[in-house]
């Protein structure tokens, strides 16, 4: 049995996973052992989570669950397909704060089940397992931690004495469209959090660990920030391979650009690869895939000790993404 562990954020990570599953189903993955049995474990970011209207919403867990369970609205990139918005309209009619974060009627059912189970005392990992019994994503989906962790962003605000105000990541991303510079990224609760059950074993016991094209700051970065997880990646016997979320000098979707600026990392396929660092030099990567348009970064990556290759990295279809997954495995086999 081969074990592949993927540290995933939202849309980019989920789309990659759909391609990885396609590669496994079509036998495209090199080296999948004769049994063909490959178990994929996803360790998902949970710092995008928020409590709103009394409900616990877990965007990155739900995006993976809906994508692999074929319930995602792929146009929007989040939430359910065939969605209706009566609850959102009714909340707006009452003048309730927070309807800028759109909860569809079908999606609300997921949050009601999750909130009820958590209030009954079930940890997020068991709640996620229960929700996945319906969605059958075909992977083991683990939250990075069962503890409450939330990414907050400091933005300039000349109305406040400090000249800054702090907003929840979702308000920065959804309400403000990430249009203002992120002056600081603070992941509340991260230092005191601990890996959810099964996370360290999934990394330590993997035959391959993948950093998919998710946001390196607020998705992969936060997962690695849970005490113990970065060390587990550094220590695992598995090769660690990453795929750049930056293509041609900018993020493909999302807001990696603003957040890489916030932590002083060059917004490029090379910059993110060097940020993760080479395994031999105390960093994470044995291999790093960049898009063909970013092949000029290969020499710097090689000089840093990172085995890198340039391949098509646009996830335009499950087949294209499957080819990326195969290239990633190939690179570190
Ligand atoms: N993104 C938006 O741009 N607008 C929304 O109103 C919105 C609502 C929403 C509700 C549930 C959910 O799971 C995700 C939602 N998202 C929305 C996307 C969300 O901001 C992103 O999926 C991640 O947090 C970023 O990776």
CA of 178 to the centre of ligand 1 (A): 13
Packing angle of the helix pair 59-68, 11-25 (nearest 10 deg) = 30
Ligand 1 pocket mutation, candidates 78, 109, 220, 251, criterion most atoms within 8 A of CB: 78
Helix (H, G, I), strand (E, B) or coil at 122: coil
Query: Average pLDDT over the chain, rounded to whole?
Result: 95
Ligand 1 pocket mutation, candidates 46, 52, 59, criterion most atoms within 8 A of CB: 59
Q: What is the predicted pLDDT for the residue at 199?
A: 98
SS3 content of the chain, % helix, strand, coil (to 5): 40, 20, 40
Residue nearest (by alpha carbon) to ligand 1 atom 2: 174
Q: What is the predicted pLDDT for the residue at 33?
A: 55
Surface-to-core class of residue 316, CB atoms within 10 Å of its CB (0-12 exposed, 13-18 middle, 19+ buried): exposed
Confidence grade of residue 255 (pLDDT, cut at 50, 70, 90): confident
Q: In the chain, what are the domain boundaries? A: 2-47+192-332, 150-188
CATH architecture type of domain 2-47+192-332: 3-Layer(aba) Sandwich (3.40)
CA distance 262 to 272: 13
Residue nearest (by alpha carbon) to ligand 1 atom 4: 174
Whether pLDDT at 32 is above 90: no
Residue nearest (by alpha carbon) to ligand 1 atom 25: 10
pLDDT tens across 152-206, in order? 999 999 999 999 999 999 999 999 999 999 999 999 999 999 999 999 999 999 9
Whether pLDDT at 28 is above 70: yes
Q: What is the predicted pLDDT for the residue at 257?
A: 82
CA distance 110 to 127: 10
Confidence grade of residue 262 (pLDDT, cut at 50, 70, 90): confident
CA of 103 to the centre of ligand 1 (A): 9
Q: Work out which ligand 1 atom sits closest to the CA atom of 219.
A: 26
CA of 78 to the centre of ligand 1 (A): 6
Q: Work out which ligand 1 atom sits closest to the CA atom of 100.
A: 6
């Amino acid at each position: 049995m081969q074990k592949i562990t993927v540290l995933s954020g939202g849309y980019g990570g989920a789309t990659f996973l759909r391609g990885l599953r396609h590669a496994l189903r079509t036998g495209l993955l090199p080296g999948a052992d004769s049994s063909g049995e490959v178990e994929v474990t996803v360790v998902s970011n949970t710092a995008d989570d928020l409590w709103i209207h009394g409900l616990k919403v877990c965007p990155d867990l739900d995006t993976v669950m809906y994508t692999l369970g074929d319930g995602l609205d792929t146009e929007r990139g989040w939430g359910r397909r065939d969605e209706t918005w009566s609850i959102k309209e009714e909340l707006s009619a009452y003048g309730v704060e927070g309807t800028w974060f759109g909860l569809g009627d079908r999606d609300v059912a997921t949050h009601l089940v999750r909130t009820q189970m958590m209030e009954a005392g079930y940890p997020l990992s068991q709640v996620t397992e229960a929700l996945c019994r319906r969605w059958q994503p075909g992977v083991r989906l683990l939250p990075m931690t069962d503890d409450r962790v939330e990414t907050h962003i400091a933005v300039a605000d000349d109305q406040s004495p400090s000249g800054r105000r702090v907003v929840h990541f979702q308000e920065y991303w959804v309400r403000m469209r990430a249009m203002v510079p992120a002056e600081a990224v603070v992941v509340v609760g991260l230092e005191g959090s601990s890996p959810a059950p099964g996370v360290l074993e999934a990394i330590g016991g993997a035959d391959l660990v993948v950093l998919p094209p998710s946001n390196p700051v607020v998705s992969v970065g936060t997962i690695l920030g849970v005490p113990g997880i970065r060390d587990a990646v550094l220590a695992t016997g598995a090769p660690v391979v990453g795929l750049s979320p930056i293509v041609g000098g900018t993020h493909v979707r999302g807001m990696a650009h603003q957040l890489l600026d916030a932590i002083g990392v060059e917004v490029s396929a090379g910059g993110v690869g060097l940020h993760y660092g080479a395994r031999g030099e105390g960093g994470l990567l044995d291999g790093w895939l960049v898009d063909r348009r970013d092949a000029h970064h290969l020499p710097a990556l090689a000089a840093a000790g990172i085995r890198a290759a340039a391949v098509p990295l646009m996830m335009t279809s499950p087949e294209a993404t499957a080819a990326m997954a195969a290239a990633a495995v190939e690179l570190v086999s």
